[in-house]
Structure formats: structure tokens, C-alpha cells
Amino acid sequence: MRNIFIFLLLFLLNIQVYTQDKIIKYNEYLSRIKENLPELKSLNIDLKKADNNIYKSRTINDYHLEGNINYFNDTGYQDYDSLEGINLSAKISKKYLPLGTSIYSVLKYSKTRVEGERQIIQEIVADIPVYKKQEFENNYFSPELEIGFTQPLLYNMKGIIDKYVINNSKYNYEIAKIQLQINKNSILNYYKKLYFNWIARYKNVQLIKNTLKNANKIKELVEDKYNSGLVDLDELERANSLVVSYKKQLLNYQMLLDLLEKELNVIINITNYKPNLNLYDSFFNKACSLCQNDIEIPFNKTNNYYIFEKSLEKLGLLKRVNKNKTLPELNIVANMKLKSKENSLNDSINKLNDIDYQFGLSLNLPVNNYQAKGNLIDTKLSIEQLEYELEENKNMYHKQVESILEQIESKRKMIGYIKENIDILNSEYETEESKYEQARLTLQVLLDTENKITNEKINFLTTKNELINLYLDFINITD
């Protein structure tokens, strides 16, 4: 029997331990939010797209292969009767980006068979040639190797236009990476606040539960007096009304806590978990230290500034490209060919020593070049506009920071006054409770003081939570 009793006791203790709420730490909470929040995963896709654009931009630096093969058969009427053959060609080209040079090489091969009749002198009679027809068939093999290049001297000098696609995509990636961090911080800031709202609602529920216990004590005290004939029924009804009003408040705060937990449960499982209540004071102290330590984070150390910085660099690159596009297209053009034409394939390859070459300049010059000059003006105006936006955002940043610090300092002082008032009201309540027990004070005065204490404690938690939220906003803005 004794063993059965011990077993049941241990079983009940295990159930109690098992069902007791566990604490989910702040860092663990954020880590689980990051792992499960679809909004954050969606943002990562944008960065992957920007990275893929860098990959696609490398096509400018790729080797380009071209090739063709064709068969031909031509019927002639004068020099030949039939011309038949096959043509092969293969071309490889590439951009040499450091100089903007276009280089190519072409390998050609053709085999031609010519058939027909021709007149030849058979004999000469009395100084007059006598002709006869003779059929002929010839095969020709013609290999050819050509190498050439185009070197820009003004337009696209040093490949500035060719390289723009790659450099622009790299800037877009850097900007997307910073923007990703800004967007992530903004989303996570909501869930950071939600964690401390969770603490605040948890504490509100605990506060009202404790207040309800005190209200029940007052009710019991009044019941004793009523049963002893020391007070009238209306005082007992007031005490009952106080208990009911706190039950209503408890129901409301419990509902708010349940709603918040349901919201979090959609993202992470917090069943049988509660927040780290001790973290409330830690973040409260950090928030208060902002004003006391006179912390200042300049705008040029924030992610928002880095966005503008990279965007201006990107526009600066576009300005240099568009300025280059206003120049005429002056190019050095050169090529060289090795070729031969023989009656056998071996001879045509062995005798591939006939050289053709050309060297010169090409020029393309739009007279007014309105398009290029207009694009350069647009870029200059975009840079000027972005510089004004940078200044505007800098001013907005300082106003937001100053506003947050001012509110934090004001709420810090307010919390001091609230705590002071709670101490005064507690002392007042003890005095009034003693007087009421001695029938020297009406119950309503005691109940009013009890309500004031409860309201001030709720006000204390609300103001504290608002201060912590302001601190989180400050961290988000200055990051």
C-alpha cells in the first residue's frame, strides 16, 4: 500500500512538471521566427534573383560560336554546264573586356566540281584555227583561315559600355543585399515587439489575478462585518461589484494574451511556453541608458545611407557610360586571311600560304547625337535628385532619432512618477484599510484607492512596454 501511494505521488509530480510552462528565450524565439517566417524566405528569393542577374550579365564575356554548311548545284550557260559543291564555315568570336576589343576567327572550306564543254583549237588551216568541243571536269579545294579584330578608340573605349552590364548587375546585387537586411529588420522588429507585448500581457494577467485575490479578501472582510451587523448590505454589494469588475478585466486581459499566443502559434509552436519575464527589466534598462549615455549614431553608419551610397555610385557609373556614348564610333578594323585553291585536298592544305589582309579605320558619327546627349542629361538630373533625397532622408533620420530619444526620456521620467505614486497609494491603502477595520472610514474610499493602485500598476506596465518598443524602433532605425 505504501509503495502504491509513493508511485501515485511521483506520477502526480511528473504530471505537474510536464504541464508546467517552459520558458522560450528571446534569442531562441527570434531564431525560430527566422526559420519559419515565409516573408523572410520570400525576401531571400529577391537576392537570389539579383545574383542570377550577375550570372546572366556574363554573356557579354562569353565565346560565341557560329557555323554553317551548305550544298549548291548551279547550271551554267556559258563557261560551264554544271557547278556543284559544298561550303563549310565555323566562326568563333569573343569580347576582350579590358580594352573593348572584338576578336574573331573564321575557318572556311569549300569543295567545287565544275563540268562543261569548251572549244579548243584542233588545227590551223591557212592561218585559220579550226575548233572542236572538248568536255572538261575540274575539282577545286579551297581552305581559308581568317583572323580579325575591331578596336574602339573613342566610343566604348576600354570596353566601358561592354562592362557596364556586368558592373551594373553587381551594384544591383549590393543594393539588393542591403535592402534585404533593411526589410528583414523591419519584419523582425514587429516580432521583437510582439515578444515584449507577450511579456506585458502575461504580466497584466498576473497583476489582475493578484488584484482579484486582494478584492476577494476585501469581500471576505466586508462579509464578516455584514454578518456581524457592522455594515449594511450596500457595502457588501460594493465589495461583490469590485470582485466582478476585476473578473471582467481578467477575462479581457486573458483574451488579449490568448489572441497574441494564437498569432505566434501560426508561425512557431509556443504551446506550454511562456516568455522570459526577466528580460523585461533588462531591455528597460538598456532603453533608459540611451538618454543617460548620450548615444549618437550618425546617418552615414546606417543601412539606409549605404543604399543611397551604392545607388549614387551606380548612377556615377551610368554617367560615365552615357558620356562615352556621346563620342563618335571610331574603330581600328583589321583582318588577315590565309587561303589557297588547289585541285587536291592535300595540296590545298600544304600550300595554304596565300595572304590577304586589310587594315583601316571605321567611323560612325551622328551629327547632333540627340539621344546620347539626352541620356547623359537624364543621368545627371537623376544624380542631383538622388542627392536631394539623401539629404531629405538624413534630416528625417535625425528627426526620428531625436523624437524617439525624447519619448524614451519622457516615459522614463513618467515611470519614475508612476512608481512613486504606487508607493504613495500603497501606503494610503494600508492606512485606509486599518481605519476601515476600525469603522473610521467608508468602504468606498478603500475601494477607490484599490482601483487607483490597480490602474497605476497597469499604467506602469503599459508605459514600460511602450518604452521598450521605442528602444526596438531606435535599434531598427539606426542599424
Is there a single domain that holds both residue 357 and residue 262? no
Predicted confidence at residue 323, as pLDDT, reads 95
How far, in Å, CA of 330 to CA of 365, rounded? Answer: 8
| Residue 419 belongs to some domain of the structure | yes
* pLDDT tens for each residue of 106-122: 999 999 888 877 766 66
Reported pTM: 0.81
**What is the band of 25 on the pLDDT scale with cuts at 50, 70, 90?**
very high
Is there a single domain that holds both residue 240 and residue 131? no
How far, in Å, CA of 318 to CA of 375, rounded? Answer: 10
**What is the band of 15 on the pLDDT scale with cuts at 50, 70, 90?**
very low
Stretch 61-90: mean pLDDT: 85
Predicted confidence at residue 304, as pLDDT, reads 94
* Spatial CA neighbour of 178 closest among 297, 43, 56, 41: 43
Higher model confidence: residue 351 or residue 199?
199
How far, in Å, CA of 219 to CA of 236, rounded? Answer: 7
Stretch 263-272: mean pLDDT: 91
| Residue 413 belongs to some domain of the structure | yes
Is there a single domain that holds both residue 34 and residue 110? no
Is there a single domain that holds both residue 89 and residue 200? no
Is there a single domain that holds both residue 36 and residue 75? no
Predicted confidence at residue 32, as pLDDT, reads 93
* pLDDT tens for each residue of 184-216: 999 999 999 999 999 999 999 999 999 999 889
| Residue 257 belongs to some domain of the structure | yes
Is there a single domain that holds both residue 179 and residue 268? yes
Asked if the model's pLDDT at residue 349 lies above 60, the reply is yes
Stretch 14-24: mean pLDDT: 60
Is there a single domain that holds both residue 190 and residue 281? yes
Asked if the model's pLDDT at residue 133 lies above 80, the reply is no
| Number of independent structural domains in the chain | 2
How far, in Å, CA of 302 to CA of 296, rounded? Answer: 12
Q: How far is CA 109 from CA 84, 92, 205, 269, 342, in A?
A: 14, 15, 90, 72, 12
Is there a single domain that holds both residue 232 and residue 301? yes
| Residue 433 belongs to some domain of the structure | yes
Is there a single domain that holds both residue 205 and residue 245? yes
Higher model confidence: residue 3 or residue 371?
371
Predicted confidence at residue 342, as pLDDT, reads 83
| Residue 330 belongs to some domain of the structure | no
Predicted confidence at residue 219, as pLDDT, reads 86
**What is the band of 20 on the pLDDT scale with cuts at 50, 70, 90?**
low
Stretch 98-105: mean pLDDT: 93
Is there a single domain that holds both residue 344 and residue 209? no
Predicted confidence at residue 14, as pLDDT, reads 46
- Mean per-residue pLDDT of the chain: 87
Predicted confidence at residue 367, as pLDDT, reads 86
Is there a single domain that holds both residue 259 and residue 384? yes
- Of the chain, the percentage scoring pLDDT greater than 70 comes to 91
Strand partners, 106: 91, 146
C-alpha cell recorded at residue 131: 575548233
Is there a single domain that holds both residue 417 and residue 299? yes
| Residue 446 belongs to some domain of the structure | yes
Predicted confidence at residue 12, as pLDDT, reads 45
| Residue 75 belongs to some domain of the structure | yes
Asked if the model's pLDDT at residue 431 lies above 80, the reply is yes
Asked if the model's pLDDT at residue 261 lies above 70, the reply is yes
Asked if the model's pLDDT at residue 338 lies above 80, the reply is yes
Q: Which structural domain, as residue segments, surrounds residue 289?
A: 21-54+169-315+376-478
Which CATH number goes with the domain that contains 280? 1.20.1600.10
* pLDDT tens for each residue of 437-469: 777 777 888 888 888 999 999 999 999 999 999
| Residue 28 belongs to some domain of the structure | yes
**What is the band of 131 on the pLDDT scale with cuts at 50, 70, 90?**
low
